[in-house]
Structure 1
Amino acid sequence: MNSPSTQFAISRSMGMLDPNYQYNIWEEPFKAEHSPNSGQSMLDDADVKIDMRSENVVTHGKIALMKGSDQAAVKPSDKVLRRLHQNREAARKSRLRKKAYVQQLESSRLKLTQLEQELERARQQVIEYMSRLSKYGLYDLLKLAECAAAFELEYANWVEEQNRQLDDLRTALQAHVTDQDLRKHVDSGMAHYDSLFRMKSFAAMTDVFYIMSGMWKSGAERSFMWIGGYRPSELLKILHPKLHPLSEQQLVDVWNLQQSSQQAEDALSQGMENLNQTLAAAMASDPIGAPNVSNYMGQMAVAMGKLEDLQNFVHQADNLRQQTLKQMHRILTNRQAARGLLALGDYLQRLRTLSSLWAARPREPA
């Protein structure tokens, strides 16, 4: 039999474990007032409940210990935690790289779109520019520039081939080959000059001013130019000493050829002078004041006709040069003609070399 103080201590401990027990412990006295066996039954019930609660206390303690031991067993180690942290960090960096890659793709797409728009605007500007050039006649200037560039390339190839032929001709003369073999070199050299005259004729029909200016030649050569080329009479004077010995008939024929060439040159020079005066007068005949459209167009028509005459003068001058070469070929023997072609080629080559040396000369600072 427990004392009242022991029952109170037990009841307090059980009340802390079961929230409903406080109500139950105070409910029993009220029942005991109405029951004859209230004292004994209350003690008996208290003993039973004490035993049950004590068992519960032990049971709950075991469960708490088991849960603590299980948590300690499933707690991850430091190595696993580091691995998880590394995985999370790698995933974060991967997401950042993916985001940066997507942004880069978007930026590249925008740049490509902008570039396409700029190319389209540039294409439209070129179309508009070419349309304006065609409208104002400037497009023809571009075509003339292309033709001039093509002619300069062809002429450079012609000079290169001439240098090769001069080397072969010099070797043949030094080796004292037969006249038949030497004739092949002479015919090849004459045909090479014929190709130059054909090139110039085609270029003059495209842009006669370009051929007249001699911009396709070196600076030293341009200083000796006459209507798009050299003077035949001047070249004959240069070649004459290289052709000796000449027979009396050859001397007479060469002298006559030189005189006829001089006369033809004078006639062409006089015609060119008259043409220049007429062209200048036609271009300057506008009265002072507002220009008259009909008069202006008439002046342009006259000027265009004069330019066609200028083109004919260039053709006649080239024809005179070509015929002079052919006449010399008929007058001279194969060996003399070979020496003449070699002397002519060396003379023109020296002029080109002089121009190169002059362009590459050292210049004092200003």
Structure 2
Amino acid sequence: MSSTSSFTRFYDTWFDQLNQLLEQLRTAPKPPSSQDDRSHLSSLAQKIVSHYAEFYRVKSMAIESDVLSVFTAPWASCFERSLHWIAGWRPTTLFHLVYTESSILFEFHIADILKGRSTGDLGDLSPNQFRRVSELQCETVKEENAITGELSEWQDSANEVMLGSFTDLGDKVGRLVSVVKKADDLRLRTIKRVVELLTTQQAVEFLVAAGELQFGVYGWGRKLDHRPCQSV
């Protein structure tokens, strides 16, 4: 079995397990009313983060084995791949998700918030949390741009291979491995750092929203891939 086929099978199992973990988060008591509830929510949130870490650990091995196949992500739908940034989702997507969820929940609880009642959810982010999220977003944008620049340089240098110079092909593939690994490292670090900026309840809401977005894109992609072909 090829490394790509092996990773695809891992991904299918991993994805099912992610859904199970998210279901536990969805059904957990929110807001937590006791220390036991908070500990339970915190434990579930950490399990999700660890689950993402396991994904990137296994993906790293697949990248080293066959980076070109990983770059094309055969386990993903055409729709999912159209949204990819260097073989995966763009890290700054998480910040748009935080702001969107915060805005929706703020409007939903605006009456309570105006009365000074704390809701404790993503709609109740403190000024300090907004500042730190904004700072992290700026840092992440810079890292994204730097990695995108590395990929652009790699693509320029790869033109030499297309023109017939195969002497350093192994080195060029190795450089692509490095670029994809940097992108995945940024993805995982962004998840971890956003979670660290949030309270337990907010982190749970963020992880559920991220998971639902991921499953939504997955579902739409599968539907589009299975549409009947239309004649031109």
TM range (shorter): 0.7 to 0.9
Q: Which residue of 2 aligns with 1:228?
A: 87
Q: 1:363 offset after TM fit, Å?
A: 5.1
> How far apart in 1 are the matches of 2:99 and 2:171?
40
Structure 2 residue 178 is the aligned partner of structure 1 residue 319 = no
One of 132, 140, 150 as aligned partner of 2:6: 150
Between Structure 1 and Structure 2, the one with more helix by share is: 1
Q: Secondary structure at the match of 2:211?
A: helix
Q: Answer with 1 or 2: which has the greater Rg.
A: 1
Q: Which residue of 2 aligns with 1:187?
A: 46
Counterpart code for 1:168: Q
Which structure 1 residue ranges, 4+ long, deviate > 6 Å from structure 2?
Answer: none
Structure 2 residue 22 is the aligned partner of structure 1 residue 166 = yes
- Cα deviation, 1:165-195, whole Å, max 9, x if unaligned, reads 1111100045846211100110100000000
Structure 1 pair 320–365 and aligned structure 2 pair: CA distance change class (3 A): closer
Contact 2:77 2:225 in 1 (8 A): no
Structure 2 residue 209 is the aligned partner of structure 1 residue 353 = no
Q: 1:362 offset after TM fit, Å?
A: 4.8
Structure 1 pair 282–147 and aligned structure 2 pair: CA distance change class (3 A): closer
Counterpart code for 2:178: N
One of 206, 223, 233 as aligned partner of 2:65: 206
What is the RMSD computed on CA atoms of the aligned residues?
Answer: 1.8
> How far apart in 1 are the matches of 2:179 and 2:162?
20
After TM superposition, the structure 1 = structure 2 runs for residues 77-156 of structure 1, keeping only pairs within 5 Å, are: 146-156=2-12
> How far apart in 2 are the matches of 1:146 and 1:282?
25
Contact 1:205 1:311 in 2 (8 A): yes
TM-score of the pair, normalised by structure 1: 0.54
Paired residue total: 209
> How far apart in 2 are the matches of 1:258 and 1:226?
16
5+ residue gaps, structure 2: 102-121
Counterpart code for 1:327: R
Q: Which residue of 2 aligns with 1:251?
A: 130
TM-score of the pair, normalised by structure 2: 0.84
Contact 1:218 1:351 in 2 (8 A): no
Structure 2 residue 121 is the aligned partner of structure 1 residue 262 = no
One of 206, 210, 228 as aligned partner of 1:344: 210
5+ residue gaps, structure 1: 1-144, 287-298
Contact 1:186 1:341 in 2 (8 A): yes
Q: Secondary structure at the match of 2:124?
A: coil
State, as a whole percentage, how many aligned pairs show the same letter.
Answer: 27
After TM superposition, the structure 1 = structure 2 runs for residues 41-60 of structure 1, keeping only pairs within 5 Å, are: none
